[in-house]
Amino acid sequence: MYQTSLKEHGSPDTSAELDIELRKVFKVFNGETAVRGVDLNIRQGEFFSILGPSGCGKTTTLRLVAGFETPSAGEVLIQGELMNHVPAHRRPVNTVFQSYALFNHLSVAENIAFGLRLKKRPASEVEDRVKSALKQVKMEAYTNRFPAQLSGGQQQRVALARALVNLPAVLLLDEPLGALDFKLRKEMQVELSNLHQELGLTFIMVTHDQEEALSLSDRIAVMRSGKIEQIGTPTEIYDSPLTPFVANFIGETNSFKGRIEASDNATLHVVTANGLKLLVQPKLPRKQLSQSQEIMVCVRPEKIRLSLSPPRSQINCFEGRLKHIMYLGANVQYMVELLSGDCLTVMLPNTSNKLPEPNTPVYARFAATDCLAWEE
């Protein structure tokens, strides 16, 4: 009797620290460079996400790992072995696509068994591995159904099972939940996270959904124009972005351009073009900035507090009026126009059934340590 085990052929080598390495990888299509010198190390057992806007090169990067594309320069290694010229079907990876790519004329079990039968595995082995894969994705009751008889979430589970049945070292997920509605997408995110924890495999997911990447990933690479802007944990990416692009792409920000009026080791005194005086204590280490240097300061909407009366502290406190209020259920989004003419987006928990009226005078304030700052 065949027993499904992560120690079987194609499973992760526990002696290897890294499952995936990309070294100075480039990919050029018809003179256009889609991937520009990407360096990337993905540890064994990680849930790693590649995040970025359309056209940034994230899907091409995943296809280079999968073997669907060959690098124009650089090296792709899987578990320490060079894979540049190894075809996709011989790599210890499997890919789950957004479109699911199921065969409509085959049953659920036949779809899952398809790859194993191509490899001419014994019938008893195929049967046991299909049963195990169905159990992993909780689809045992749907063995004889066809894709057209399944919901989108069920089809996604079948696609996952078809990939897992081959016992890959690395599971590649190309926008895996993009075709699902909002509620089902949230449910599948939880199931995907649970599956990753249960299996201990390396997951690499490509997505443009920031919230999805933040909630699922151990680490995230943010890409822009074929390059990696930053790699870090969700907390590092969100709370300590290295560039304005990362800050603006991951969540929302309120941005101010200004000049440094004075500075010491920990604090910057910044004056904006509209005359706002900001006290900034950025978390990230930085080189010594000179007086009058141009700087970009950003504050997350949820870091700002509102009050109807002047607060005791006047540090980073500005008077304004509510211009727009958007009820979002658990949260309320406020648009505040300051006396300077600057507009702030503020996100606060919904703690009251009664919301203030538009044009209500308010005071917006935020801590110096909640400011992000970069040289212009």
| Per-residue pLDDT at 3 exceeds 60 | no
Q: What angle do CA 304, 305, 307 make, to 5 degrees?
A: 145
For residue 208, what are its two tokens? Answer: 């443009």
248: part of which helix (H) or strand (E)?
helix 244-249
User: What are the pLDDT digits (tens) for 297-343?
Assistant: 999 999 999 999 998 888 999 999 999 999 998 999 999 999 999 99
Q: What is the pLDDT of residue 22?
A: 98
Q: How confident is the model at residue 276 (pLDDT cuts 50, 70, 90)?
A: very high
Residue linked to tokens 């990337």: 40
Average pLDDT over residues 13-28: 83
- Partners of 93 in the β-ladder: 170
User: What are the pLDDT digits (tens) for 354-363?
Assistant: 788 889 999 9
Q: What is the pLDDT of residue 91?
A: 95
**DSSP conformational letter for 89:** G
Average pLDDT over residues 90-102: 87
Q: How confident is the model at residue 263 (pLDDT cuts 50, 70, 90)?
A: confident
Q: What is the pLDDT of residue 287?
A: 58
Q: How confident is the model at residue 10 (pLDDT cuts 50, 70, 90)?
A: very low
In this prediction the pTM is 0.87
As a whole number of angstroms, the distance between CA 320 and CA 190 comes to 41
Q: What is the pLDDT of residue 332?
A: 93
Which of 146-160, 167-181, 230-244, 270-284 reaches the highest mean pLDDT?
A: 230-244
Average pLDDT over residues 188-201: 89
Percentage of the residues of the chain whose pLDDT score is greater than 70: 94
Q: Of 185, 232, 214, 206, whose CA–CA distance to 51 is shortest?
A: 206
| Domains in the chain: ranges and CATH | 18-242 (3.40.50.300), 252-375 (2.40.50.100)
Q: Between these two residues, 178 and 294, which has the higher pLDDT value?
A: 294
Q: Considering the chain, what is the average pLDDT of its residues?
A: 89
195: part of which helix (H) or strand (E)?
helix 182-199
- 3 state SS of 347: strand
| Per-residue pLDDT at 219 exceeds 90 | yes
Q: What is the pLDDT of residue 15?
A: 43
Helix 182-199 with 123-136: angle, nearest 10 deg? 120
Q: What is the pLDDT of residue 333?
A: 95
